[in-house]
């Protein structure tokens, strides 16, 4: 791994630390992790992205009110192998997350944000920024622990194109 790949991660850590400093107490802070699969529906740098791979993410957030939160995290967008090519991606992201309660246990999630994506293909590497959107559902097991299922789309500017990467995950969110 080249040193330049650490710069976005350092920025994520600094912003996360600032978010913690802004919150005078732990009220509203939460963290989570999810595992799933990714799909690259577009050709990326000449590599057909119709495969899928294991993906995951870790994130932290701050619940500003019952319907709005801000999340910061890192995601592994999976490894895709075809008969002749390989591709993998990772991302750092910052999202605004809206929550629509359906009952005391169930809620719907919507997110929009920005992402920095690093893509490595057998034909070359590139990184770029782009839009990130997503939809999901959340089920509260307790007042502090919830299960989340989500679909997220990363649209990035890499290799002089704007390919998409989709991530489907399920995981846990824990409030502090």
> Over 80: is that where the pLDDT of 32 sits?
yes
Q: How far apart are the first and last CA of the chain?
A: 33
Residue 36 CB: number of other CB atoms within 10 A?
19
Please give the pLDDT value at position 7.
57
What CA–CA distances, in Å, run from 16 to 23, 61, 156? 11, 8, 23
Query: What's the structural domain count of the chain?
Result: 1
Is the pLDDT higher at 18 or at 44?
Answer: 44
CATH number at residue 34: 2.40.160.20
Question: Can you give the residue range of the structural domain that contains 66?
Answer: 3-175
- Mapping DSSP to helix (H, G, I), strand (E, B) and coil, where does residue 130 land? strand
Please give the pLDDT value at position 41.
81
d(CA 137, CA 123): 37
pTM (two decimals): 0.81
């Amino acid at each position: 791994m080249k040193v330049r790949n650490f710069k976005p991660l350092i920025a994520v850590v600094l912003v996360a630390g600032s978010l913690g400093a802004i919150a005078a107490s732990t009220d509203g802070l939460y963290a989570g992790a999810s595992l799933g699969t990714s799909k690259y529906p577009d050709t990326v740098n000449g590599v057909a992205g119709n495969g899928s791979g294991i993906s995951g993410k870790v994130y932290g957030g701050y619940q500003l009110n019952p319907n709005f939160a801000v999340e910061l995290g890192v995601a592994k967008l999976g490894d895709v192998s075809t008969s002749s090519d390989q591709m993998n991606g990772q991302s750092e992201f910052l999202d605004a997350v809206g929550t629509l309660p359906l009952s005391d246990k169930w809620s719907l999630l919507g997110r929009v944000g920005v992402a920095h994506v690093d893509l490595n293909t057998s034909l070359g590497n590139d990184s770029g920024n782009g839009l990130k959107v997503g939809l999901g559902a959340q089920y509260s097991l307790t007042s502090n622990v919830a299960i989340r299922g989500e679909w997220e789309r990363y649209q990035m500017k890499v290799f002089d194109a704007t390919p998409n990467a989709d991530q489907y995950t399920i995981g846990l969110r824990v409030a502090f």
